[in-house]
Structure 1
Amino acid sequence: MKNMLIFLCCSFSLCVSANPKVQFVENLKAGEKQTIVTFGTSLTAVGAWVGQLQVVLNQQFPGQAKVVNGAQGGANSSWGKGALDKKVLAHKPDTVFIEFAINDAVERRKVSVEKAQENLEDMIRRILKQNPQCEIILMTMNVPVGHTGVQRPKIADYYQMYRDEAKRHGFKLIDHNASWKKVLEESPELYIQYMPDCIHPLYDGALKVITPKMIQSLGLEPGNAAKSEETPCFNYIYRTMDRLIEANWQVTREEYELFWANHFKMQDANKDGLIQSNEYPEEGIFKHFDANGDQAVSLEEYQKVYAYNFNKYDKKNTGVIMIKKDKFNY
């Protein structure tokens, strides 16, 4: 009987559990085929790490590993309970990765830590009922910053619940949150490049932070994750920009700047036309935006930081960024 791997994704940061070896990796080494389901929020649904993981597995175990992305943008654990049969169990996985903490923590959704734990336990019970040998891997994710962090004042409690659940069940925990905290503390300017909308890591954030942590925690060889060309998060964010003026699968500089002007307004809680430090609590990122050091960030300062990504992707200097016509789980 093949063992099933299910990844429940909510918050990301890698912690090695009491079990030093990951069963699905051992099964792959033994020549067995494995089905892996990733299950969680937009951090998984449009996470470039999913494609990067598939590429690394293909490099080391050609034709043996199938990674199915069962996540959904905007989802929390209540959605996960309802979607489990279709998105996870229908694939008869050997392993499942699970992460829902980041959206359970949104204060306005009124999902308590206790309720989130109850939902997670329900998913675990049903996965193991289908296949007692299925491997479940829990994940914590990145640190939401700016207005996305303000919306999640108790995110640390939800991530801790995932750590506690992993320990209680003897599951592997990948604690991406710890990795992202390190980047935030040491290179806040890099953090905002990796995660410009304050919550969704782009391709480089996955390649430099998420995927290496997964490879290390899973006991895989380093491989070359950069061979993956999937950029779902980039495509999702830029498709949102594309719809602001004219939906034509390309983003003009005007659309790009309008998107970030609207994003600025989300940070500006008191609507005074400036972002104060209490509106953007992450000191390092705030200082990165506050170019003149006057303890307030203007729209012009904000736009200057974000000009980086447009210039990076407008490689031919045409004033337009083209978007791939991909499907999104959002």
Structure 2
Amino acid sequence: MQNRNLTSRVFPRVLLLGLCFSPFVVSAKTIMIVGDSLSAGYGIQPQQGWVHLLQKRLEQQYPKQHKVVNASVSGETTSGALARLPKLLQTHRPDVVVIELGGNDGLRGQPPQMIQKNLANLIQHSQKAKAKVVIFGMKMPPNYGSAYSKAFENNYKVVSQQYKVKLLPFFMEGIAGNKQLMQKDLIHPNAKAQPILLNNAYPYIKGAL
């Protein structure tokens, strides 16, 4: 009888310990955003930015299952991000990499072929690190001419098809050209635009999880 009572007290504790250290416990997935000022939250408070809103939405829908790392830098180019990416991948070991880049390259008139090559390399590095990739497309203002704009926009379609990654065709959909949603420079979205950016991005990010 005494042994039976001892077993009844000890067994639940052993079972609990086994559950705590079970190899089937799921760790949080890391989503890393590699972008420019659109994701860095230029001109707005950090908590207003779409990346912060993404973390909040994920936490509400899937508590403690996701971690968002914002590796975005205002003014970033595809070349600059390519130089930073290996260290970022090593440090954060993301499950998903979101590439929101190319806009600054285009505004500086960089050759579309160079932009495409850099985007391809960013994807390749991420995939070699076992991360799923989502890429956000951008568009150029009309004054850059139709030939350059078409070549620029086509870059995103080409690399997404070549490397079989999810493509959001135009990250600024519903925002670009709307002065009420833009800052005074008419380049950067304001705080009101951030929930729209999140709604544009969320289905593609969720689909990669």
Cα displacement string for residues 247-292 of structure 1 (whole angstroms, at most 9, x for unaligned residues): xxxxxxxxxxxxxxxxxxxxxxxxxxxxxxxxxxxxxxxxxxxxxx
Following the alignment from structure 2 to structure 1, what is the Cα–Cα distance between the partners of residues 85 and 67?
A: 18
Task: State whether residues 34 and 65 of structure 1, in contact with CA within 8 Å, keep that contact through their aligned partners in structure 2.
Answer: yes
Q: 1:210 aligns with which of 184, 197, 204?
A: 197
Question: Cα 1:135–1:158, aligned 2, differ >3 Å: closer, same or farther?
Answer: same
Task: State whether residues 101 and 159 of structure 1, in contact with CA within 8 Å, keep that contact through their aligned partners in structure 2.
Answer: no
1:84 aligned partner: 85
Q: TM-score, normalised by structure 2?
A: 0.73
Alignment of 1:118-133 (within 5 A): 118-131=117-130
What's the secondary structure of 1:71's corresponding residue? Answer: coil
2:94 aligned partner: 93
Following the alignment from structure 1 to structure 2, what is the Cα–Cα distance between the partners of residues 158 and 177?
A: 14
Following the alignment from structure 2 to structure 1, what is the Cα–Cα distance between the partners of residues 172 and 99?
A: 17
Alignment of 1:312-323 (within 5 A): none
Q: 2:181 aligns with which of 190, 194, 198?
A: 194
**1:115 maps to 2:109:** no
What's the secondary structure of 1:159's corresponding residue? Answer: helix
**Residue 32 of structure 1: how far off its partner (Å):** 4.5
What is the one-letter code of the residue matched to 2:152? Y
What's the secondary structure of 1:205's corresponding residue? Answer: helix
Cα displacement string for residues 97-152 of structure 1 (whole angstroms, at most 9, x for unaligned residues): 002121111235xx211111111222222222222xx10000024x565xxx64x5
**1:136 maps to 2:133:** yes
Following the alignment from structure 1 to structure 2, what is the Cα–Cα distance between the partners of residues 159 and 44?
A: 19
**Residue 192 of structure 1: how far off its partner (Å):** 0.8
Q: How large is the Cα RMSD of the aligned pairs?
A: 2.5
Alignment of 1:28-107 (within 5 A): 31-46=26-41, 48-107=49-108
Q: 1:168 aligns with which of 128, 146, 162?
A: 162
What's the secondary structure of 1:72's corresponding residue? Answer: coil
What is the one-letter code of the residue matched to 2:75? G
Following the alignment from structure 1 to structure 2, what is the Cα–Cα distance between the partners of residues 80 and 69?
A: 13
Question: Cα 1:119–1:218, aligned 2, differ >3 Å: closer, same or farther?
Answer: closer
Following the alignment from structure 1 to structure 2, what is the Cα–Cα distance between the partners of residues 156 and 199?
A: 19
What's the secondary structure of 2:173's corresponding residue? Answer: helix
Following the alignment from structure 1 to structure 2, what is the Cα–Cα distance between the partners of residues 198 and 99?
A: 19
Q: How many residues align?
A: 174
Question: Cα 1:53–1:79, aligned 2, differ >3 Å: closer, same or farther?
Answer: same
Following the alignment from structure 2 to structure 1, what is the Cα–Cα distance between the partners of residues 71 and 79?
A: 15
**Residue 175 of structure 1: how far off its partner (Å):** 2.2
Unaligned runs of 5+ residues in structure 1 are 1-29, 221-330
What is the one-letter code of the residue matched to 2:100? E
Following the alignment from structure 2 to structure 1, what is the Cα–Cα distance between the partners of residues 205 and 97?
A: 13
**Residue 217 of structure 1: how far off its partner (Å):** 3.6
Q: TM-score, normalised by structure 1?
A: 0.48
Unaligned runs of 5+ residues in structure 2 are 1-24, 43-48
